[in-house]
Structure 1
Amino acid sequence: MFGANQGQLLTGDARLDGKDLAIGIVQARFNQDVTDALAAACRAELLALGVQERNIDHFHVPGALEVPSALQALAEKTHYDALIALGCIIRGETYHFELVANESGAGVTRIALDYQTPIANAILTVENMAQAIARQSEKGRDAARTAVEMANLLNHI
């Protein structure tokens, strides 16, 4: 038998209602001006969506490759409804860009699937600093909205 809410989709404001959610943020320090702007936009949007300041935990790691390890540690703490990954990888002259971009992205996805925890991945992968700056605020806000919407969806299912 299905319960009364089974099979019904969350709509409208319910999808983006963060008032009862606990969110963990992991921010890479590499390219810190960009990641600080990502974090500021993300936190402001979380608060605008009703997430209480006391329910937002924010952690810093050296770079994008360290983000998945911190996310895993947070996912093991079952009190987070969603997690957010913030970072910035700028293409250089070597293969290192591809390695960092691919491995950090794969790690974030694996943690989300292994722990059934929504993770908004806002690790920017860009060609240059101008592209990073152009995306930092919008992607920070997008990460907050994605985390809240997915947390509500998975809590509802």
Structure 2
Amino acid sequence: MFGADKGKAGELDGKGLYIGIVQARFNESITNALHEACVAELKALGVEEDRIDHFTVPGALEIPVALQALAEKDHYDALIALGCVIRGETYHFELVANESAAGVTRVALDYHLPVANVIITTENLEQAVARQSDKGRDAARVVVEMCNLLDEI
């Protein structure tokens, strides 16, 4: 039927997916927590541990080039960007937040590949800590849902 909703919201199946994760080491306590929550959720959704590859880079600005290198391998069904940018006293916060997000989006669009952008941007450390587990789980759910959707389309 034309216009019928074919999406199966809530029915997330990660079986058989290959996922690449790129994690920034800057604000490492936050990004480690993002990673732990993300991997736990990927496994809960059926992604096998040996199908999850993990790479680290110095900071958020380096994430897009690592994602691009992974996308070029044509091995991954989806990618995940994990980082944390906390506002400081200079314009650097906006630069890192905006440019890293633009780079992540570019990889997704250029390679027609689901990429979860979980480079969290917060005003302070407390906000980052409050979001680290939920956003890590969200990253896993986003890529599995998008893989499922793209398989349907």
TM-score, normalised with respect to structure 2: 0.95
Q: Does 1:11 align with 2:8?
A: yes
Q: Does 1:97 align with 2:93?
A: yes
1:153 CA displacement: 1.1
Aligned counterpart in structure 1 of residue 20 of structure 2, from 17, 24, 34: 24
User: 1:1-157 maps to which residues of 2 (within 5 A)?
Assistant: 9-12=6-9, 15-157=11-153
Q: Deviations over 1:78-121 (max 9, x none)?
A: 12111000000000000000000000000000110000000001
Using the alignment, how far apart are the partners of 1:30 and 1:45 within structure 2? 23
Q: Deviations over 1:40-83 (max 9, x none)?
A: 00000000000000100000000000000000001111121110
Gaps of 5+ in 1: 1-6
Q: Secondary structure at the match of 2:15?
A: coil
Using the alignment, how far apart are the partners of 1:144 and 1:86 within structure 2? 11
Using the alignment, how far apart are the partners of 2:7 and 2:16 within structure 1? 15
Using the alignment, how far apart are the partners of 1:70 and 1:9 within structure 2? 33
Sequence identity percentage: 71
One-letter identity of the residue aligned with 2:46: G
- 1:3 matched residue in structure 2: none
Runs (4+) of structure 1 exceeding 3 A deviation are none
**Cα distance change on mapping 1:105 and 1:12 into 2, 3 Å:** closer
TM-score, normalised with respect to structure 1: 0.93
Using the alignment, how far apart are the partners of 1:8 and 1:52 within structure 2? 29
One-letter identity of the residue aligned with 1:120: A
1:12 CA displacement: 4.7
Aligned length: 152
User: Aligned Cα RMSD in Å?
Assistant: 1.6
Using the alignment, how far apart are the partners of 2:116 and 2:144 within structure 1? 9
